[in-house]
């Protein structure tokens, strides 16, 4: 806020007059102009006559509750940030509100100082935007708004709503469905888009190194610590921290991460001083965290902290209407990247691409398109140009046979062919399929495939 600018104004809405007085005193002492309303209808009257920069509202109120108030605000002032206050028992309602367009929620009883700091942070984030309209979403144009499947249309609608807030998000989905892409879209559509987007691959980083990678260390804290190192959490300050494959972190790291989420302060390995960090946390996994919690491998309290909002990305086999759009996108991308003339995708090729189950999801499709462009003749993409373990040989049969295999049988057979081709070596079979080692390990276990016997035969 510039020196001569008028003070920011906050509208506090709660049917508890004690809450109104406490927040009035707190916020007024910070130089903010405070307006108070003991219900939703009075709040709407104030919004019509006063310029309000942020609303803090209770969820449960008589006559007109917080959700109804939020709905009116979205209709009349869609860019206006709203923070909800809620009792623990009503947290599901607050989460629903965030999905509907609220910026954040705070549990009652709240820490007055922490809430004041959150409000100040939100006002700073939204400074310069017009409350009468939403912030410019242009950085997220590649949100694939042309998708055809209802499930992806719904997902992208949720992404847009969640992006306006700073709440933690948990993204679920099979390997290769595009979890990191969705995380980037949330970041790019939000008010932190000019700040860092830091990716941590929890699955690929050895457990012994992950603590140093996340929290950093001071010189001399262990044998190879020859200088101070800033951790990735600290690097993400003011931006977004994306924790990929969060289900793979150790129990000790779960405790450290939980502590950071609760107090938003980190301490480097070997350090004594805590450093406050303000970053949004988006986590992703292809694991069943519910089962991991039952088995004692994942902390339930950390799970609840991470999944304020949960987004689930459907596998490609369940949204085949989107395959032609993805094929066109990847074809254009890789023709440009490899400096070749745009290839023509035959109808029979597109039909075959839509019929295949894609066990490696979008990642496998992307790799297959790139390989097909390199191998095709006369700038025409044919089914036999796709080097995905054995499927080119079966494409004509599968299209001609009305009693074709189920998706699961087709997927299992494709994995078996890849294992036969690579002598049962899972790592090489995963590379042939264009999927990760974790994905093929999961599929082998899912279908009860004996990879050891295949390897022994070779």
Mean local confidence (pLDDT), 425-436: 75
Residue 395 confidence (pLDDT): 44
- Domain(s) labelled CATH 3.40.50.300 in the chain stretch across 149-314
Give, in words, the CATH class of 9-126.
alpha beta
Question: pLDDT at residue 5 above 70?
Answer: no
Calculate mean pLDDT across residues 381-395. Answer: 62
Record: fold of 149-314 = Rossmann fold (3.40.50)
Q: How confident is the model at residue 194 (pLDDT cuts 50, 70, 90)?
A: confident
pLDDT of residue 393: 43
Portions of the chain given CATH number 1.10.8.60? 317-457
The CATH number for 317-457, chosen from 3.30.70.890, 1.10.540.10, 1.10.8.60, 3.40.190.100, is 1.10.8.60
- pLDDT greater than 60 at residue 389: no
Query: What pTM did the predictor assign?
Result: 0.63
What is the predicted pLDDT for the residue at 181?
92
Confidence (pLDDT) at 319? 92
Which pLDDT does position 335 carry in this prediction?
Answer: 85
Does the pLDDT of residue 137 top 80, yes or no? no
Residue 337 has pLDDT above 90, yes or no: no
Q: What is the pLDDT of residue 403?
A: 37
When pLDDT is cut at 50, 70 and 90, the band that residue 42 belongs to is: very high
pLDDT for residue 420: 80
Q: Tell me the average pLDDT across 89-107.
A: 73
Q: Give the pLDDT score at 91.
A: 66
Name the band, by pLDDT with cuts 50, 70 and 90, for residue 3: low
**Region(s) of the chain under CATH 3.40.50.2300:** 9-126
Mean pLDDT of 97-126: 80
- 199-247 residue pLDDT tens: 998 877 777 788 888 998 888 877 777 788 888 999 999 999 999 999 9
User: Nearest 5°: CA angle at 347, between 320 and 326?
Assistant: 40
Q: Residues 391-420: what's their mean pLDDT?
A: 56
Supply the pLDDT for residue 144: 52
């Amino acid at each position: 806020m510039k020196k001569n600018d008028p003070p920011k104004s906050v509208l506090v809405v709660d049917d508890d007059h004690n809450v109104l007085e406490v927040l009035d005193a707190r916020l007024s002492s910070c130089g903010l102009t405070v307006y108070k309303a003991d219900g939703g209808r009075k709040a709407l009257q104030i919004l019509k006559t006063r310029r309000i920069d942020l609303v803090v509202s209770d969820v449960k109120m008589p006559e007109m509750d917080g959700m109804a108030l939020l709905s009116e605000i979205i209709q009349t002032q869609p860019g206006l940030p709203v923070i909800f206050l809620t009792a623990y028992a009503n947290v599901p309602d607050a989460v629903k509100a965030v999905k509907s367009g609220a910026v954040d929620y705070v549990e009652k009883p709240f820490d007055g100082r922490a809430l004041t700091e959150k409000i100040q942070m939100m006002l700073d984030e939204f400074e310069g935007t017009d409350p009468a309209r939403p912030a410019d979403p242009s950085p997220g144009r590649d949100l694939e708004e042309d998708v055809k499947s209802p499930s992806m249309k719904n997902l992208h609608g949720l992404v847009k709503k969640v992006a306006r807030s700073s709440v933690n998000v948990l993204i679920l989905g099979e390997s290769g469905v595009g979890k990191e892409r969705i995380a980037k879209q949330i970041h790019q559509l939000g008010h932190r888009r000019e700040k860092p987007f830091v990716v941590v691959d929890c699955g690929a980083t050895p457990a012994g190194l992950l603590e140093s990678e996340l929290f950093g260390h001071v010189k001399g804290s262990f044998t190879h610590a020859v200088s101070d190192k800033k951790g990735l959490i600290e690097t993400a300050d003011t931006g977004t921290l994306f924790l990929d494959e969060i289900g793979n972190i150790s129990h000790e790291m779960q405790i450290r991460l939980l502590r950071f989420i609760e107090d938003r302060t980190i301490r480097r390995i070997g350090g004594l001083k805590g450093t406050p960090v303000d970053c949004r946390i988006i986590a992703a996994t292809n694991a069943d965290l519910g089962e991991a919690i039952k088995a004692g491998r994942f902390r339930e309290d950390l799970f609840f902290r991470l999944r304020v909002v949960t987004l689930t990305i459907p596998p490609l086999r369940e949204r085949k209407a989107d395959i032609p759009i993805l094929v066109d996108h990847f074809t254009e991308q890789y023709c440009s990247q490899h400096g070749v003339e745009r290839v023509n995708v035959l109808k029979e090729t597109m039909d075959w691409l839509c019929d295949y189950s894609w066990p490696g999801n979008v990642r496998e499709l992307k790799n297959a398109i790139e390989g097909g462009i390199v191998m095709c003749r006369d700038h025409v993409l044919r089914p036999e140009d796709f080097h995905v373990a054995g499927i080119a040989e079966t494409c004509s049969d599968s299209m001609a046979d009305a009693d074709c295999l189920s998706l699961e049988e087709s997927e299992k057979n494709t994995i078996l062919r890849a294992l036969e081709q690579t002598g049962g070596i899972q790592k090489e079979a995963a590379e042939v399929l264009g999927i990760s080692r974790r994905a093929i390990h999961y599929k082998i276990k899912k279908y009860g495939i004996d990879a050891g016997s295949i390897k022994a035969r070779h």
